[in-house]
Amino acid sequence: MNERSERVVILGASDKPDRYAYRALVMLGEHGHIVVPVHPKLSEIDGIPVVAGLEEIDGVVDTLTLYVNPAVGESLADEIIALDPGRVIFNPGTESPVLAERLDEAGIPHEEACTLVLLSTGQF
């Protein structure tokens, strides 16, 4: 397991326990990471404050993990680049060649992976 605590932004966070975004929020917390959920209509998930948009986030972001469809990710490309995360994880179903190209141009590392699998296998 990664010993270093990261600040992880979850774009497309969910308060529904059957959603992968919710499972990621729980598992990230269990692994000692600081979670910043992003959802335009929620104010908190399990007591964790939720921000409505990426523009509300200040400070260092080690990882941005995506749980939004590719069109949403692409529409937020400027905000994602302005956030300047240490890396972006495209979870299954969020992959976007358009956003990946924008990240490459900005020098932001990214990978297509499952946050839950990365955490479960000690590769996060």
SS3 call for 82: helix
pLDDT given at position 62: 98
**Using an 8 Å Cβ cutoff, are 41 and 67 in contact?**
no
pLDDT given at position 4: 80
pTM of the model: 0.95
pLDDT given at position 2: 45
112 — phi, psi (to 5°)? -95, 110
pLDDT given at position 1: 42
Cα–Cα distances in angstroms (integers) from residue 56 to residues 59, 80, 100, in the given order:
10, 12, 23
**pLDDT digits (tens), the chain, 124 positions:** 445 899 999 999 999 999 999 999 999 999 999 999 999 999 999 999 999 999 999 999 999 999 999 999 999 999 999 999 999 999 999 999 999 999 999 999 999 999 999 999 999 9
Tokens of 75: 């529409």
- All structural domains of the chain: 7-120 (3.40.50.720)
